[in-house]
Structure 1
Amino acid sequence: MKTIKNVILLGLALVWGVLAQAQIDPVNKDGVAIGGYDVVSYFSGKAKKGTKAHAAKHDGVTYYFASKANKNAFAKSPSNYLPQFDGYCAWGVGAKEAKFPINPETYDIVDGKLYLFYNGDFNGEPFNALPDWKDRTAELKKAAHANWPKVKNSK
């Protein structure tokens, strides 16, 4: 019984560890954007995972959608749905002039544009960039757009 309990606790600890570090690159090694999340779904108020059945390519990147309707909306006008800063953390670009990975479930819609953020473990401590962004949206948004041309080509 004690062994089963220990196995369950270990499993929960591993799951928590993975979730706490759920940062991803905006485009993975397979060319899939935003961890497979549907970029159109953000505008309905909830980030949803897309499926391969509703995939579309744009500028060499594959986007997954939760529905055919979302795929069609994206195909009609991709620029309405693409995340700012190629999907990198908007706070990182604005506050640190750097590219940070993102947690696809941490986002903000400002003036009809999608901004994604880092939210996870950083050097052993939890860090969520969204609250600072929310406190200083106008300042950080302006800085991020000014910084992006030089940050875009950095590593």
Structure 2
Amino acid sequence: MNNYCKKAVLSFLLILMICMAYAQKPEVFSQDDKAIKGYDPVAYFTHSKPIMGKDELKFSHDGANWYFSSQKNLDLFKSNPSKYMPQYGGYCAFGLAAGYKAPISPDAWKVVDDKLYLNYNKKVQADWMADEAEMIKKADKNWPTVKKDK
């Protein structure tokens, strides 16, 4: 095999490895390059309400940019991201229970068993909360397959 062919094969393999690594990253809902539309994920736990994050307090994790309302919240997130990240990559929990991805509203949220769940809007959230435990079971079952959907 000549040098040109070797370089072409190596280039192809490198591109393939990069694509595979990218494909294996967890899926996180992001709008305008902001997870949770720029809201602070830690604030749902520490302040019991959604609080908009600040541009200067941004942290990239799992292929998404997360924003925080305080340095303290940013530090808490960095110390344990999985504790504060919303379930199902931040997609609508009701949609996941039905087997599809849907965007969210930062105002339609609930913490259940120390896990953050987001929904499309407050009406959808009310439907989700009517049978919350069953919805979580269904969404947990669907997420491993649905997270690979584009």
State the TM-score, normalizing by the size of structure 1: 0.75
Q: Residue 32 of structure 1 aligns with which residue?
A: 34
Matched, 1:93 2:96: yes
Q: Residue 123 of structure 1 aligns with which residue?
A: none
The amino acid of 1:81's aligned partner reads Y
Give the secondary structure class of the aligned counterpart of 2:34: coil
- 1:33 CA drift (Å): 0.8
Aligned-partner Cα distance in 2 for 1:108–1:35: 16
Q: Residue 64 of structure 1 aligns with which residue?
A: 67
Aligned-partner Cα distance in 2 for 1:92–1:61: 21
- 1:104 CA drift (Å): 1.1
Q: Residue 20 of structure 2 aligns with which residue?
A: none
Aligned length: 122
Q: Give the structure with the higher percent helix.
A: 2
Q: Residue 4 of structure 1 aligns with which residue?
A: none
- 1:26 CA drift (Å): 2.5
Q: Residue 81 of structure 2 aligns with which residue?
A: 78
Could you tell me which runs of 5 or more consecutive residues in structure 2 were left unpaired when the two chains were aligned. 1-27
Aligned-partner Cα distance in 2 for 1:88–1:74: 19
Give the secondary structure class of the aligned counterpart of 2:50: coil
Matched, 1:128 2:130: no
Aligned-partner Cα distance in 1 for 2:135–2:29: 20
Aligned-partner Cα distance in 2 for 1:60–1:143: 25
Aligned-partner Cα distance in 1 for 2:149–2:60: 24
Q: Residue 14 of structure 2 aligns with which residue?
A: none
Aligned-partner Cα distance in 2 for 1:58–1:151: 20
Aligned-partner Cα distance in 1 for 2:51–2:108: 12
Provide runs of 4+ in structure 1 moved above 6 Å: none
Q: Percent identity?
A: 43
- 1:115 CA drift (Å): 0.5
Give the secondary structure class of the aligned counterpart of 2:31: coil
- 1:56 CA drift (Å): 0.9
1:115 to 102, 108, 117: 117
Give the secondary structure class of the aligned counterpart of 1:47: coil
Aligned-partner Cα distance in 1 for 2:112–2:53: 22
